[in-house]
Every structure is written in structure tokens, then in C-alpha cells.
Amino acid sequence: MKKKSQDHLFIHSEVKVKLLGAYLQRYFNIMSNTPFVNTVHYYDMFSGPGIYENGGEGSPLIILRELKEAHFRAKSRKTDLSSKYKCLFNDKDLKKIETLCKNIKEAKIHYPEMGTLDYCTEDYKKLCPEVVKQLKSLPKDEKAFVFIDPYGYKDVRFSEIRDLLSSKKSEVLLFLPTHFMFRFSENGTPESLHNFINDVVPEDQWPKSETGLDFVENLKQAFQRNLGDDFFVDSFIISRDKNQFFCLFFFTSHIYGFDRMLDAKWEIDAEDGRGWKFNAASSNLFSQVINGPNTSKFEKELKAYLKERRSNKDLYVFTLQKGHLTSHAVQILKKWQDDGILVATLPDGKAARKSAFYIGWESYKNNQEVKAYFSTK
């Protein structure tokens, strides 16, 4: 029998596509405004019908809305940089693809000038190697984003994600029902979970997870170790009920992609930038109590890090690796400057200008020279 969640978009799925939309808004804007990218490929490997019985919008509608906005924003700037987008929506259920096709037409959110739209009804297992092949042969000025949103984890293998990333021109967002995986891992691991985990890490190196959150963290670290330093791995936790954690994992080889995903996460979780909790008292997604960002743990970590002299570029990477925004680092450094405990110098040893920290992508990209060094007294 079909589960109700398969016909209805529930609140945890709404958060899932909210993060997808928030990230793609940033991604498409970058892609539409860079002279280095001409074509972007978007693959939705498990697309669903686009609109659910309760009216909720699924990933295809969310992405096309972001695409349309980015396209027309770029067009209004008349910069002639606008990239072309090639979208592929796949679902092995033909009926869902037919419904999706109809829903997209009726919503009038795609115009031929934005690029192409393709539909297919392949099994993911068959489609994935084909997409890997396409990604491997992309020319330099083409990029790709792959969204993988299966019902369970059994359909997906980590080796497939690794293959999808191997050209370093693509980013992957993967949804996993980590809660079910964790429960299974506690009570006699089934073959399918063994297979999934063994594909990421040798079994004797897989640590025991005490809680569902531990499980997510262990998985993220195992993904990161498997992919190595050329890639960034991030997670976004969606908790449906107490102790029911689902998770989106994001993979990119580009530090600015990692930066923008953090920005998207903090837009949704303004306190911790790491996930979303179902608030039973309210059905509104964004009515969580906002106390401002929790930066006290980061402040301690930053202080320990600045016991040694660090460059503005080191600080950028460190801030992102700690899951924080550069604005948080800047705010802390300003406070320390006012308190007289920050030493900020230019590369020639002279004192740096007050409030000039150069922590961000703009001062990092294109192998720029270090602009300043920082340490605490």
C-alpha cells in the first residue's frame, strides 16, 4: 500500500525543497552572471509529479521557479552573460512524469529561451551511469547540479555519488532517511544498510552511533574522508518528531558552493545554521523563535585558532569549516578590535586599517595574495 507521504507533500519534505530552492537561488544567480559558464545541467533523478495532492510543490516546480527568476534577472541586466540551462526530470513512474509535464505547462514557468527541458522514466540505477558519462565529457564552461531524492537509502550507493562528482564540475544534493538507517543500525543491521555503509567506509572503521544525530555526523565524516580534501561535505538535518532525523547531504568541490550552501542553511535556521526542527506549536515553517545566531562556541574556537597568526584566507576557510558565515567572524573580530585584543597587520607588518578583515570569497578567489594577518593578544 502507498504511504500517505507519497501523495502529500509533508512539512519535512517542504523543508527539504526549501533548502534546495534557497541554494539554487544562489547557484543560478552565480551561474547566470559568470563569463566562465555557458551551460548548466540540472538533473532531478527522482523528480516526482511536481505538485502533490495537497497542493504542495515538489522539487521540479521549486527549481524551475528559481531558474525563471534568475534568468529574467540576468536578462534585465542586459549583460548578455545569461547561461543556458538544460534540465532533466526523471522518475521511473510514467504517470508521475506525465503529471509533471502537465503541471509544468500549466504553471507556465519554463520558456524555451531559458534552455531545454527533458523528461525520462529510467530506473535511477540505469540513468546514473549515463549521467556520470555525460558529466565526464562536459566542456570547461559547463557545470551541473544533481538532486537525488529517493524514498529510501536502498536505491542509492555512495560510489554513485563519488562518480557523479568525479569531473569536479558538478554538485550533488542527496536526501537520506538517516533516522531509519540509525534505527536499523541499532537493531541488527540489515544487508542493505551494511552494503550502503561498506561502500563508504570499511566496516571495522564505522563507529558506533549513540544517537540519531551521531549517526548523521558519523556518516558525514565518513563521506568526507572517502572523498578527501578536494571536496566539501555538508549536512542539513530535518527533524520531524523528537529524535526523527532526516538529512540532506551536500557535496561540492568548490569552496564558494560550500559558502553559498552555508548561507542557504542560515537563512532557514537563523540560530544554528544546521537544520530545522518541527515545531508542533506552529504549522508555519518559519515561525521558529529567532534569537539571532548562536556564535559563542565559534567564538571560542576562533580565539583558540588565533593564538597563532593566521591570514585572511585561512580565516575564510576556518569560518566555513566551522559551519559559520563570514559575517559572524567579522562581528567577533570587530568586537575584539574594540576590546583591544586583536592584532591585525598588513603583509608588510604595518597595522591594518580598522574593520578591514577581507574574510570572504571576494578576497579568496583567483589565488589572490594575502591581504592581512590576524592574531589575538
The yes or no reply on residue 179 touching ligand SAM (CB under 6 A) is: no
Choices 71-79, 105-113, 148-156, 264-272; region in contact with ligand SAM by CB under 6 A: 148-156
Which residue number, 58 or 273, has a Cβ lying nearer to ligand SAM?
58
The yes or no reply on residue 339 touching ligand SAM (CB under 6 A) is: no
The yes or no reply on residue 93 touching ligand SAM (CB under 6 A) is: yes
Can you tell me the distance from the alpha carbon of 146 to that of 124, in angstroms, rounded to the nearest whole number?
12
Which residue number, 7 or 339, has a Cβ lying nearer to ligand SAM?
7
Using CB under 6 A as the binding rule, the residues of this chain from 19 to 58 that contact ligand SAM are 46-48, 58
The yes or no reply on residue 160 touching ligand SAM (CB under 6 A) is: no
Least distance in Å: CB of 30 to ligand SAM? 23
Which residues on adjacent β-strands are paired with residue 354?
A: none
Residue 259, CB-side half-sphere exposure with 13 Å CA sphere: 18
Distances in whole angstroms, Cα of residue 340 to Cα of each of 32, 332, 335, 345: 43, 12, 9, 14
Least distance in Å: CB of 80 to ligand SAM? 33
DSSP of 112-135? GGGEEEEEE---HHHHHHHHHHHH
Can you tell me the distance from the alpha carbon of 240 to that of 103, in angstroms, rounded to the nearest whole number?
28
Whether 135 and 144 have beta carbons less than 8 Å apart is answered as yes
The yes or no reply on residue 269 touching ligand SAM (CB under 6 A) is: no
Least distance in Å: CB of 42 to ligand SAM? 13
Distances in whole angstroms, Cα of residue 372 to Cα of each of 313, 356, 358: 9, 9, 7
Distances in whole angstroms, Cα of residue 354 to Cα of each of 171, 194, 208, 324, 374: 37, 55, 48, 22, 12
The residue nearest ligand SAM at its CB is 58
Can you tell me the distance from the alpha carbon of 39 to that of 15, in angstroms, rounded to the nearest whole number?
28
Least distance in Å: CB of 27 to ligand SAM? 17
Which residue number, 40 or 176, has a Cβ lying nearer to ligand SAM?
176
User: 69, 98, 155, 301: which one contacts ligand SAM (CB under 6 A)?
Assistant: 155
The yes or no reply on residue 216 touching ligand SAM (CB under 6 A) is: no
Q: Show the cell assigned to 342.
A: 586583536
Which residue number, 17 or 135, has a Cβ lying nearer to ligand SAM?
17
Least distance in Å: CB of 91 to ligand SAM? 5
Using CB under 6 A as the binding rule, the residues of this chain from 244 to 263 that contact ligand SAM are none
Which residue number, 111 or 151, has a Cβ lying nearer to ligand SAM?
151
- Judged by CB under 6 A, the number of residues near ligand SAM is 17
The yes or no reply on residue 114 touching ligand SAM (CB under 6 A) is: no
User: 15, 17, 233, 268: which one contacts ligand SAM (CB under 6 A)?
Assistant: 17
Using the Cα atoms of residue 63, residue 282, residue 174 and residue 325 in order, give the sign of their dihedral.
Answer: positive
User: 91, 160, 171, 269: which one contacts ligand SAM (CB under 6 A)?
Assistant: 91
Question: By three-state DSSP, how is residue 257 classified?
Answer: helix
Q: How do beta strands 84-90 and 245-252 pair?
A: unpaired
Least distance in Å: CB of 10 to ligand SAM? 11
Backbone angles phi, psi at 233, to 5 degrees: -120, 135
Using a 10 angstrom Cβ sphere, with 0-12 exposed, 13-18 middle and 19 or more buried, the burial of residue 21 is: middle
The yes or no reply on residue 123 touching ligand SAM (CB under 6 A) is: yes
* Interface ranges with ligand SAM (CB under 6 A): 17, 46-48, 58-59, 90-93, 96, 123-124, 149-151, 155
